[in-house]
Amino acid sequence: MRLTRDVVSGENRRKLRDISGEEVASCYQCGKCSAGCAMTGMMDLLPHQVIRLVQLGHIEEAAASRTIWLCASCLACSARCPRGVSLPNVMESLRVTLLRPGERHLDPAGLPAEVLENAPEQALVAGLRKYT
């Protein structure tokens, strides 16, 4: 996508700010969030790269990354951020923009009985909140 003023300050970015409550323009790309994230080995974009895409208005690219689904919402990054940006909130809002149109990433009815019996209740609730 070409970088234009309309893209950078477009409707999608405003919507994301409203949902997340985060002002991503505060991020100055120091990378401390990515340096402290335990999930980066599996991520296709590093957390600070997700923020950079959102800053530039490339919401679809950020939302298409595997990273937003791998984020464990552990808060390690936001605790380290010198600018007070909560990445988990941004990741959650990106997931919400995908899930709102009704796309499900997990079918609760399709969960095997073994998972329902053995998985910790907290993990089930968190998974259903995140993926449905």
Can you give the binding site for ligand SF4, defined by CB under 6 A?
27-33, 36-37, 39, 47-48, 51, 71-77, 80-83, 85, 87-88
The CA-atom distances, in angstroms, between 32 and each of 36, 64, 90 are 6, 23, 16
Least separation in angstroms between residue 109's CB and ligand SF4 is: 28
53 vs 85, which CB is nearer to ligand SF4?
85
Closest CA to 91 of 42, 48, 123, 127: 48
**Cβ at position 85, least distance to ligand SF4 in Å:** 4
Closest CB to ligand SF4 among 79 and 116? 79
DSSP classification of residue 42 = G
Kindly give the interhelix angle for 87-99 and 11-20, rounded to the nearest 10 degrees.
Answer: 120
Q: How far is the CB of 34 from ligand SF4 (least distance, A)?
A: 7
Q: How far is CA 21 from CA 16, 64, 92, in A?
A: 8, 21, 11
**With respect to ligand SF4, which residue has the nearer C-beta, 57 or 88?**
88
Nearer to ligand SF4 by Cβ, of 47 and 97: the residue is 47
The CB-of-78 to ligand SF4 minimum distance in angstroms stands at 7
SS3 119: coil
Secondary structure class of 100 (helix, strand, coil): coil
